[in-house]
């Protein structure tokens, strides 16, 4: 078993709060720290993108880094890089609530993408995976980006000073 690093994000803005309440998750978003130093994520607005860490951190009031298991880390990264540019999977989000598999390989939401990269879930079920499901399989690690503005070791935003 191998591992890769993910970063969970939490905000209490209306959309984030809605996601957390509807999915019983403590986080409303999850992304993958890629070998290039950027965070792979799927967002409502942009779909699957590689984001600079500073930009990712600025969107969340709380972040947490963790290691998640995967079948093969190199293949996981290859899968992730291959999804960049794909659209957000709105249909699969509705499938979570309708308990229907609406997964489409040309579209992804955040935890669905991470689940696919992990390679541990049944393919027909990855569209039902939430950030909380990913969190349950993870183990927290120290913040590898402590030097960035506003991010403390425990993931809670601090003032705009370097730590």
Domains in the chain with CATH codes: 2-140 (3.90.1720.10)
**Cα–Cα dist 81/75, whole Å:** 10
- Which residues neighbour 101 within 8 Å (Cβ) at sequence distance 6 or greater? 95, 124, 125, 127, 128
- Tell me the pLDDT tens digit for each residue of 26-80: 899 999 999 999 999 999 899 999 999 999 999 999 999 999 999 999 999 999 9
How many Cβ atoms are within 10 Å of 30's Cβ, its own excluded?
A: 31
Phi, psi of 28 (to 5 degrees): -105, 0
pLDDT of residue 32: 98
Q: How far is CA 118 from CA 61, 81, 111, 121, 142, in A?
A: 26, 14, 10, 8, 21
Q: How far is CA 54 from CA 61, 108, 129, in A?
A: 13, 23, 26
pTM to 2 decimal places: 0.82
- Tell me the pLDDT tens digit for each residue of 112-139: 999 999 998 877 666 678 899 999 999 9
Helix (H, G, I), strand (E, B) or coil at 138: coil
């Amino acid at each position: 078993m191998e591992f890769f690093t993910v970063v969970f994000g939490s905000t209490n803005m209306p959309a984030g709060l809605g996601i957390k309440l509807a999915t019983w998750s403590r986080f409303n978003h999850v992304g993958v720290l890629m070998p290039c130093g950027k965070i792979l994520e799927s967002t409502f607005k942009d779909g699957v993108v590689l984001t600079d860490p500073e930009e990712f951190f600025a969107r969340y009031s709380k972040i947490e880094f963790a290691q998640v298991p995967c079948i093969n880390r190199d293949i996981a990264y290859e899968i992730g890089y291959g999804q960049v540019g794909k659209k957000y999977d709105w249909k699969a989000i509705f499938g979570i609530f309708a308990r229907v598999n609406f997964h489409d390989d040309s579209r992804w939401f955040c935890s669905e993408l991470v689940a696919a990269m992990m390679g541990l879930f049944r393919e027909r079920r990855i569209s039902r995976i939430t950030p909380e499901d990913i969190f349950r399989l993870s183990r927290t690690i120290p913040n590898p980006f402590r030097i960035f503005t506003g991010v403390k070791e425990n993931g809670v935003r601090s003032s705009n000073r370097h730590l």
